[in-house]
Amino acid sequence: MTALRLAGTFLRIGILNELQYRVNLVFSLVQSAIAVGTSLAVLALVFGNTDSLRGWSAGELLVVMGVHVLVGGLIRSVIQPNMQQLMEDIQRGTLDFVLTKPADGQLLVSVRRVQIWQAVDILVGAALVVVAVVRLPATPGVLDVLAFAAALALGAVSIYCFWLLLTTLAFWVTRLDPLVELFEGMYQAGRWPVSVYPGWLRIGFTVLVPLAFAVTVPASALTGRSTGWLLLGSVAFTVALATVTRLAWRHALRRYSGASA
Amino acid sequence: MNGLPGLYATVMKAAVQTQFQYRTANYAYMLGMVAEPVVYLVVWSAVAESRGGSVGGITAGEFAAYYIVWTLVRNMNIVLTPYAWEDRIQQGELSGMLLRPVHPIHYDLAFFAGWKVVVVLLWIPIALVLSVAFRPTFDISALEAVVFLVAIWGAYLIRSLLLWALGMITFWTTRVSAIYDVYFTAELLLSGRLVPLALLPAWAGGLADWLPFKYTFGYPIEVLAGSLSTRELLTGLALQAVWIGFGAALVAAVWRVGIRRYGAVGS
Amino acid sequence: MDIEVDGLRKTFRVPRREAGLRASLRSLVRRTTTEVVAVDAVSFSVEPGEVVGFLGPNGAGKTTTLKMLSGLLFPGSGTVRVLGHVPSRREHDFLRRITLVMGNRNQLQWDLPALDSYEMNRAIYRIPAPDFRRVRDELVELLDLGDQVRKPVRQLSLGERMKAEIVGALLHSPQVLFLDEPTIGLDVTMQKRIRAFLAEYNSRHGATVLLTSHYMADVQALCKRVVVIDAGRILYDGSLRTLSARYSQRQTITATVADRAGLAGLGELVSVDGDRVTLRVDKERSAAVVAALLGHGVTDLTIEDPPVEDVIEQVFAS
């Protein structure tokens, strides 16, 4: 409850401030339009040559792309800004100020920043999903939509955990920006359902970079592919990853304060 | 050595040394970069498979060859990003560059050229792994190999010059990311970076012929991974030369106006 | 007691780097580390409302000690108690009653107005709204910040930023203040302003302050008591005045004399400016020198202890 209130206060302040820089909205819109346009061009190219890609139709892949854009917007507006700030704090020693605050450290470092204009992609992605779903031959039922929402929330948590794990490395490694770059490269792969990839890559994209749980599983729910088991797997994976992340964070802090040395 | 060759030798050597120190970081960058062609490769292989083996006459093995050469060409295409100009102008770095008796573009050309030495060394194992995983089919003649070695440097020069000219827009405005995005998107779609140009619709392919992007990606890749005639090989080099000339003229012109603007506004 | 430190010790392992390619190759396989003692057997205590200055050269262990007191670092051995808490447990009740200011690092968000960062602190410390407004306005008034708190922090000057930082650090009315070089890099007027504020704040709220600084003027203005630390050990703990008395064996005598002949024999002649002479002499001889000076036709005479800087320098030299 306090966590929510804290996050709410931070979010409100961040948004109020970003509202001053309204020009950025235009730039985010241009960026978003270009990204979506490119994706559509790629889809058109692929489906100019074939009717189905490993069992996914053009309309179904549009759903996947919509979810990909949506989650990408979530990453760029909330997750990445916070993690970049954390990285800077670790490098400059200003993390000390976080640790002398009477609130949970992990919570604090995760809610401090928000880049609201990047959230345009969340809306654009959602719109894309809606348009794609409406045009599908089989309209998903209420249960499917609920499964989609649940899978999306779980996927978002997984991606957040993955980013925090990555950022925690900053306690050991001085130059992290290449890793961030690496992740961004990998994230582009999520534009396609993970089942397109050969086995070893599919495992990597599922477990190492949780693209499967963040993008493919939610999209599966809307395209009549999800089973209860898939959702259950997503729950188990998210819980496991969140636990590992929590432990890694505490371990890193203990190391930072010289307790484990 | 003195003069420009001496400058190039010194700056390139410094670049090799610094970038070799950052080899882990360099590797992470390169691995992140590999994700992009692997995705294209996987998707097009799947399409080829669904069509009974080939798309537009390109087989899965040829796609593999295309995108593996792609990784080398992509690395040759790493040049000063236009975003670097904002820092350069704000931090006053540019003023220092202006005091030197050489045109600043030479430092950048030399530095990134030196970096390539490290990049190519690091690239070899990546190419080997990709080859084992995706089984490319190659058929390379001696002429193709020679033309390729020239063409990748041609690609490097074209992209360096064009992006340098683009970066100089920062002299007038700092809100340039949208312009860059348009450039990079056009490049992505019309260079052969996203798909081999043969797969584009005819009108887009025709458009690509009249733009420089093709000569920084598609052409050098196809020299090695495609089956170009001798005539096509050599015309490609000649057109690269034309685009290098165009890029150099553009840089010279924009630089002259930009620097006057910089002098008037200061930093 | 607000702060009790007993037998505190902290060591760090630092990788040992040797020059040369072979050594660096070897270190890839086996990292050789050296143990560095940052703080060694430090004991002291601070009473509520006291202002104590922590003095020492760079790397003496001041910041390490401060970090252990604020719970950022685990002590190697020994015990620390602050307000009855063990700091390294970082209990929220403890954290709510202390604050940390570091002069060379800022905690206000760079792109936001300070007011917004204050609002965030209100949420973090769960300060009731009326208290928050009262304390904030009082601090802003005391530090003469005015509308500066409405500008993005990056637009503030170094001094204004430090003042804004201090406001942010005191919003929750902490009982114990850890100030690490709060005036570093500021110009003299701004230093004075901040010093005056800290003195005022201490007397108004009776807060306990532990302060490290390079500027002796900070310490002289604020602290009756100093703890001198060097190479991790406490060299001196007591009043500033006794420090001068204990460690300076010499005094400076300035006199206006009619007859300057033979003065050099009395002690070290520091300067001669017309008929004003300045002599430096051993303390036990100063009475004798004064007596001797009387024979030279003295019209005006002062005896001074040396400036604190010199004393400190002497402490570290011995």
Find the angle CA(C142)-CA(C143)-CA(C148) to the nearest 5 degrees: 125
The SS3 assignment for A52 reads coil
Global pTM reads: 0.82
> Which has the higher per-residue pLDDT, B3 or B11?
B11
> Which has the higher per-residue pLDDT, B146 or A25?
B146
Residues C171 and C267 in one domain: no
Task: Quote the domain boundaries for residue C263.
Answer: 249-317
DSSP run (H or E) holding C202: helix C188-205
What pLDDT digit, counting tens, does each position of B70-83 carry?
A: 999 999 999 998 88
Number of A:B CB contacts under 8 A? 92
pLDDT score of C225 more than 50: yes
Residues on A contacting C at a C-beta cutoff of 8 Å: 2, 5-6, 9-10, 13, 16-17, 92-94, 96-97, 99-103, 108, 112, 254, 257-259, 261
| β-strand partners of C250 | C282
What pLDDT digit, counting tens, does each position of A141-165 carry?
A: 899 999 999 999 999 999 999 999 9
pLDDT score of B55 more than 50: yes
- A185 and B33: CB-CB below 8 Å? yes
Output the pLDDT for position A259.
64
C88, C113, C125: residue with CB nearest A257: C88
Structure tokens at B108: 């950048």
| Mean pLDDT for chain B overall | 89
Distance CA B18, CA B75 (A): 17
Instruction: Sort residue A53 into left (φ over 0), alpha (ψ -120 to 50) or beta.
Output: beta
Question: How many domains are contained in chain C?
Answer: 2
Q: Collect all residues of chain A within an 8 Å Cβ-Cβ radius of residue B43.
A: 46, 53, 192, 196
Alpha helices in chain B (DSSP H): 3-21, 23-50, 60-76, 84-90, 93-99, 105-134, 142-167, 177-190, 202-209, 218-225, 230-265
Torsion angle of the four alpha carbons C287, C292, C294, C298, in this order, in degrees rounded to the nearest 10 = -100
> Which has the higher per-residue pLDDT, C171 or C297?
C171
What percentage of residues in chain B have a pLDDT greater than 70?
98
pLDDT score of C276 more than 50: yes
Output the pLDDT for position A100.
92
Q: Which chains touch C (3 or more CB pairs under 8 A)?
A: A
pLDDT score of C119 more than 70: yes
| Domain residue limits, chain A | 2-256
Domain boundary among C195, C212, C244: C244
Q: Collect all residues of chain C within an 8 Å Cβ-Cβ radius of residue A6.
A: 123-124
Q: Which residues of chain A have pLDDT under 50?
A: 261
Q: Collect all residues of chain B within an 8 Å Cβ-Cβ radius of residue A23.
A: 175
A37, A42, A185: residue with CB nearest B194: A42
What pLDDT digit, counting tens, does each position of C5-29 carry?
A: 999 999 888 776 666 556 656 655 6
Q: Collect all residues of chain C within an 8 Å Cβ-Cβ radius of residue A259.
A: 74, 88
Amino acid letter, B54? S
How far C109 CA lies from chain A's nearest CA (Å)? 9
Say how far residue B45 (Cα) sits from the centre of its chain: 24
| β-strand partners of C5 | C44, C80
The arithmetic mean of pLDDT across residues C69-93, rounded, is 93
User: Confidence band (pLDDT; 50, 70, 90) for C318?
Assistant: low
C12, C116, C123: residue with CB nearest A17: C116
CATH number of the structural domain spanning residue C209? 3.40.50.300
Output the pLDDT for position A6.
87
The arithmetic mean of pLDDT across residues B140-151, rounded, is 94
Domain boundary among C216, C244, C272: C244
- B32 and A184: CB-CB below 8 Å? yes
How far B36 CA lies from chain A's nearest CA (Å)? 6
ipTM here: 0.83
Q: Which of B119, B185, B188 to mutate to test the interface with A (most CBs of A within 10 A)?
A: B185
Structure tokens at C17: 């780097």
Residue A189, chain B, CB below 8 Å: the answer is yes
Structure tokens at C188: 């003299």
What percentage of residues in chain C have a pLDDT greater than 70?
92
Residues C223 and C158 in one domain: yes
Q: Which chains touch A (3 or more CB pairs under 8 A)?
A: B, C
| Mean pLDDT for chain C overall | 86
The arithmetic mean of pLDDT across residues C168-194, rounded, is 92
Residues C271 and C147 in one domain: no
Q: Which of A129-138, B246-255, C167-176, C252-261 has the lowest mean pLDDT?
A: C252-261
Q: Which of C109, C110, C178, C179 to mutate to test the interface with A (most CBs of A within 10 A)?
A: C109
| β-strand partners of C236 | C228
pLDDT score of C250 more than 80: no
- A96 and C72: CB-CB below 8 Å? yes
Output the pLDDT for position A261.
41
User: Confidence band (pLDDT; 50, 70, 90) for B267?
Assistant: very low
Residues C143 and C280 in one domain: no
The arithmetic mean of pLDDT across residues B157-176, rounded, is 90
Alpha helices in chain A (DSSP H): 2-18, 23-49, 58-74, 80-92, 95-99, 105-111, 120-135, 142-168, 177-188, 199-203, 211, 217-222, 228-256
